[in-house]
A and B are shown apart, each in its own frame.
Chain A
Amino acid sequence: MSVLFHSLLLDHRVSPSFTRSHKKYPQHFSVQSCGFKTPRKAVSENGYAPAFSFLLFVCLNATFFLTSFSAQARTWKISPTQNFKRAVEQALPYDTLLIHKGLYRINNIIIDKPLTLIGQNFPVLDGQFKNEIFTITANDVTIQGLHFENVGMTSMIDWAAIKVLESRHVRIIGNRVRNSYFGIYLSASDHCLVQENDVRGNPKEEQNTGNGIHAWKCDSIRVENNRVAGHRDGIYFEFVTNSIIQRNFSHQNIRYGLHFMFSHKNGYFYNTFRQNGAGVAVMYTKFVTMKHNIFEQNWGGAAYGLLLKDISDSHIEQNTFNINTIGVYMEGCSRSVFSHNQFIKNGYAIRVQANCDDNTLVYNNFKGNTFDVATNGNVVLTKVAHNYWDKYEGYDLNRDGIGDVPFRPVSLYASVIERIPQAMMLLRSFTVTLLDRIEKIIPSITPESMKDESPMMKPIVYRKK
């Protein structure tokens, strides 16, 4: 009896932290601050744990004792001399594995019970290009502070440093992934957290490089404060819903910084996408919210700050588009609102295809773009109002801050290029400037309906954060 009691006390040194972290869980998932309503299923199932342990201490009831004992977690310490795989197999559910610093040559570790794996000083898990490193098939798994490297490449299976399959409440926090085919891969999982990971690939061609953070058919996941570089797509989502993606930094990926399809009702906040091969492309999705993101330096023949294809009922607000070939490219977009964005020094700030309808473009700043707006048709179904255009040359007689003459953001030259791309050769030629001037005075070729009736005289300043 005394031995049991002793071990219980020992265990309790570990278990409070475990229960506490679970208590935190609903706070992590309180997505309401971002204006999102997600199913509140995320509320901890272990919410009763502190009361439970309190009871244990006070009553010392033997039956309680034994039943709770089996539920209590142990902490195992693993060093490079031990067999990693066996340690994982022998651990009981809700145990914690502390992994000491060192090199572990392991692969194909299947985590099929709720475990907490914590690395101390970034132990290196080397997959030796043979297989995946971790495959998680259980709920409530936490992976923290590990360094993964060298995950093999196959064309049949998407091997990843950490793969999560059909699980819930999996948390992947503060890991480093280097030189992997796929970095962190979530499949058919929900309520998972991917936080503060640093994923860096070694890109080859597009077809033999995987995605940094990849999620397929997930719901209510959070991807926060990660850094992804050198993969095919930095962050890739397909059929991911009700999720929050915030404060990530995705750069220098060979294809897209962010790429999603069929991923409705997700929110993207405070992310930075920089110098990705083709920028950011998002497709076939409804109810997207993108706020405070930065899209910059996506410069190249086929690079876009943000490519929107078949996106509807979305809000693109307070983002910065800086030095992109095309800031925003819209194709088949409907009922979306673009407000309070900054378009600075892009080739084209916005390119709207004629198949977009009922979008709203208000209170944006356009500064130093070669072309502000380009469109391929005469019919424009986008509402444009109250934007600041640095090319505006009108006046404001009543001094209400709104220009008295409408501004036409589509220049003659932009329409000419839309018809004859070869005419780009005349860029910055004096003739073209002259023609643009004439067109401004007597519009004939540029679409009549594309105009800002109430252009702002001064750049729109909005509060930060």
Chain B
Amino acid sequence: MNKVTKYVLYDIVRNRFVMGYTLLLAAVSFSFFGFDPDPNKGLLSLLNIILMVVPLVSIIFSTIHFYNSYEFIELLSAQPLSRKSIFLSEYIGVAASLSLAFLVGVGIPTMLFEGTERGIVLIISGLLLTLSFVSLAFLAAVITRDKAKGMGLSLVIWFYFALVYDGLVLGILFSFSDYPLEKVMLFLTALNPTDLARIMVLMKMDISALMGFTGAVFQDFFSTNYGLIIALSVLMVWVVWPVALATRIFNKKDL
């Protein structure tokens, strides 16, 4: 399994795309932090990038990579290796390369300019976001054999989490505004990894004072270590469940 992972990793690192992605992230981070003397502002701008670009790149790149290495996977399947280990090696290889790109591109500048607790929370949530979107990409890729369909599905997933979901939440809020929705909101956030990452970072930014009663409920939840651990575990769930489901599908799949 290690050997396969290593091979996948080498393959991706040789590919110039991840290098470009790293450089892009680094350039964006450095310019955000360098543009404004207030690192807080840089962090907020960076948060927008992390919530939009990182999931998009993660999910698209992973899907493309999976389809491109389909023949290689078929070849490996002919070897005495379990499908699970082949699949997980692929996953770990892709996830590791993208995480590395993220850590170098965003992690290093953030630690340089804002190496505080909030910076660390930003890095961790971005990292988990990368992992969970790679995971979702693998799920999308195993569902269909058709590359175009798989890509479409990935894009739909990204679109849903980045845009549609918040619109739906807004709709729910409008229709049920007469009810106390604080706890419901807390639950709804858990159903979207990008929202969860966003709220986690915002709560560290002391923005909750602005958020009124909802903010207070959120702050109560997220400011405690208990809440933070729960939020992180929910994000972890978002990493684990798609890839676990994908593995099951892949195991039974007729390649």
**Chain A residues within 8 Å of B, Cβ to Cβ:** 299-301, 303, 325, 347-348, 368, 370, 416, 419-432, 434-435
Contacts and interface: CB of A to CB of B under 8 A. Distances in A.
Contact of B185 (A348, A425, A430): A425
A430 B209 contact: no
B48 interface: yes
Contact of B189 (A423, A425, A434, A435): A425
The 3 closest A-B pairs by CB, nearest first: A431-B166, A347-B210, A424-B211
A325 B198 contact: no
A370 B211 CA distance: 11
Given A368-B41, A422-B173, A428 B189 contact: no
B209 A428 contact: no
Contacts of A427: 202, 207, 210-211
A299 B206 contact: yes
Nearest to B41: A368
B169 interface: yes
B177 A419 contact: yes
B182 interface: yes
B52 interface: yes
Interface in B165-210: 166-167, 169-170, 173-174, 177, 181-182, 185, 189, 195, 198-199, 202, 206-210
Given A299-B206, A423-B170, A430 B181 contact: no
A349 to B, nearest CB: 12
26 contacts: A299-B206, A300-B209, A301-B208, A301-B216, A303-B209, A325-B209, A347-B207, A348-B210, A370-B210, A419-B177, A420-B177, A421-B213, A422-B173, A422-B177, A424-B211, A425-B185, A425-B211, A426-B166, A426-B169, A426-B170, A427-B202, A430-B51, A430-B162, A431-B163, A431-B166, A434-B163
A429 B185 contact: no
A423 B167 CA distance: 11
Contact of A416 (B51, B170, B212, B218): B170
A370 B210 CA distance: 9
Contacts of B210: 325, 347-348, 370, 424, 427
Interface residues on B, range: 35 or more
Chain B, interface SS category: helix
A430 B163 contact: yes
Contacts of A301: 208-209, 212, 215-216
A201 B207 CA distance: 29
Of the candidates A347, A370, A429, A432, the one having the most CB atoms from chain B within 10 angstroms of its own CB is A429
B182 A422 contact: yes
B184 to A, nearest CB: 8
Contact of A429 (B174, B195, B206, B213): B195
A421 B214 contact: yes
B18 interface: no
Contacts of B108: none
A422 B163 contact: no
B44 interface: yes
Nearest to B195: A429
A302 B52 CA distance: 32
Given A301-B208, A434-B163, 18 more contacts: A299-B206, A299-B209, A300-B209, A301-B215, A347-B210, A348-B210, A368-B41, A370-B207, A416-B170, A422-B173, A422-B214, A425-B185, A425-B195, A427-B211, A429-B166, A431-B167, A431-B170, A435-B170
